[in-house]
Structure 1
Amino acid sequence: MTEIAGRAGHRADGVVRESYSFACMRCGYGWEQSYEIEHHKDTDGHEAVRYVADGRVVPSPLSRPTCLNCDGHVVRIMRPGRVTSARSAAHRKHREHHGHREHHGHHWRLSDLLPSFRRAD
């Protein structure tokens, strides 16, 4: 199966929706993205896929993901919800430590996310 480029909108044989969490190992930025994966067949009957995010055709996030913050390519791909749960845990910890004061504009670093990814032994 190959990946096809081009504009979204051509009729797909099937569409699967998948979401992933990403964490940049270079700058620590974390984000989540959902994709519509369109399955197509070319004129010879070979299967191909097209990844669509926010209505735009994008490269496969699994081939060589790029950090949205620093353009780095050392990016960890995880199941959906990992970045959100890590941010929530870090936010709770921050509020407990600083006494419920609201803090806006915090830039998430890898060190903020890593404790949530450690396995319990």
Structure 2
Amino acid sequence: MSEFTGNTGRRDGATAVVHESYSFACMRCGHGWEQSYEIEHHVDGAGHEFVLHVADGRVVPSPLSRPACAHCGGHIVRIMRPGRVSSARDAARRPERRPPAPVPTVPPARHHWQLSDLLHPFQRKAG
């Protein structure tokens, strides 16, 4: 999920930048999406380290803190490794795979009824 790229100079004072990507699925409405982040490591004036999460050039909250669905606003969101949503969409677009047709079996031999077989219960015993 992470890729270290060193100091890319994205923002002043960033000591390192790590790229992370995640797949998200909303458990409320089923919407799925993927997002990549640049996690910039900084040191403030007092020497304390902090990070900034950047997505699409904007500083955003950590995706792990409380993600929200852009479709319905729900906060019950599953976070997965990258590529899960796109692979599910690709699978949904593929033609349906059908199992091979069953091998026809030979039907059991049928009994050919004769009129005498049908009348047998009605015949009286000679006696």
Q: TM-score, normalised to structure 1's length?
A: 0.69
Measured in 2, the distance between the counterparts of 1:10 and 1:27 equals 39
- Other-structure match for 1:90: 92
- Name the SS of the counterpart of 1:86 in structure 2: helix
- Other-structure match for 2:42: 40
- Other-structure match for 2:18: 16
User: Greater CA radius of gyration, 1 or 2?
Assistant: 2
- Other-structure match for 1:80: 82
> What number of residue pairs does the alignment pair up?
88
Measured in 1, the distance between the counterparts of 2:45 and 2:13 equals 14
Higher relative contact order (CA 8 A, sep 6+): 1
- Name the SS of the counterpart of 1:31 in structure 2: strand
2:52 matches 1:50: yes
Measured in 2, the distance between the counterparts of 1:31 and 1:16 equals 20
4+ runs deviating over 2 angstroms: 8-11
Identity %: 73
What is the Cα-based RMSD across aligned positions, in Å?
Answer: 1.4
Measured in 1, the distance between the counterparts of 2:28 and 2:46 equals 42
Q: How far apart are 1:68 and its partner, in Å? A: 1.0
Q: How far apart are 1:60 and its partner, in Å? A: 0.3
- What runs of 5+ residues in structure 2 fail to find an aligned partner? 1-9, 98-127
Please identify which structure carries the higher helix content: 1
- Name the SS of the counterpart of 1:48 in structure 2: strand
Q: Cα deviations across residues 30-68 of structure 1 (Å, max 9, x unaligned)?
A: 000000000001111111000000000000000000101
- What runs of 5+ residues in structure 1 fail to find an aligned partner? 1-7, 98-121
The one-letter code sitting in structure 2 at the alignment partner of 1:70 is: C
Measured in 2, the distance between the counterparts of 1:10 and 1:24 equals 35
Measured in 2, the distance between the counterparts of 1:66 and 1:40 equals 26
Q: TM-score, normalised to structure 2's length?
A: 0.66
Matches within 5 A, 1:55-70: 55-70=57-72
Q: Cα deviations across residues 59-111 of structure 1 (Å, max 9, x unaligned)?
A: 0000000101111100000000000001111111xx338xxxxxxxxxxxxxx
Measured in 1, the distance between the counterparts of 2:60 and 2:80 equals 19
